[in-house]
Amino acid sequence: MEKYNYVYEPNQDSLAKDLIKIYQDFPIDGVKYLDLNPVYQNSEARTQMLMHCVQALQDVPDFDYIACIESRGFLLGSLIAHIMDKGIVLVRSKPGRLPGDKVSIKHTLEYGDGQMEVQMGTGKVLIFDDVVATGGTATAAYDCLREAGYTPMAAMFLVELTYLPCELYHGDELPTHSILKYGGETWEK
């Protein structure tokens, strides 16, 4: 981490909190959408979030790959993998985007249905995405990775929406980390 000249200070206020935009009733009525694009556009905020993730992962049991969930999980997940010298497993959100032997799983999202697809393989993985809401996408990634031959060791999310009921991994114990927590109206410490 020294090569990135960033000093991580636990519990420091995150610039990202000020940049994340919240849209009510997007993409459908009743959904509160957190737009992290301003964080990705701001080099300082992006670096801060990136290094928060790397620091938080120092105590996670060893893993071989970061399983990056399409598409926003690809953005920082690949950078974290680079800094931590880990491989990447792509978790695609639409069928037919990966060649070779693969596993596909259908799942329910907060506002619709989806499908995950992963190439067959082995190794220990950390599941990574930008936001965890109801847990449908994360749990589908967990199921898909296991069926494809991987062993999920932990999960990390940039933002956790704590005001929504979230069921992850069918009750299986999996260390789950989030950098920011949003309670529906305010950010939590």
Which residues are catalytic, by number? 72, 110
Half-sphere exposure of 54 (CA within 13 A, CB side): 23
Q: How far apart are CA 144 and CA 123, in angstroms?
A: 14
The answer to whether the beta carbons of residues 181 and 188 sit under 8 Å apart is yes
Helix pair angle (72-84, 43-56), 10° resolution:
60
Measured at the alpha carbon of residue 72, what is the angle toward residues 68 and 76, in degrees to the nearest 5? Answer: 65
**DSSP secondary structure letter of residue 175:** -
3-state SS assignment for residue 11: coil
Encoded tokens for 75? 């953005």
One DSSP character per residue, 83-142 reads: HHT-EEEEEBSSTTSS-SSEEEEEEEETTEEEEEEEE---EEEEEEEEEESSSHHHHHHH
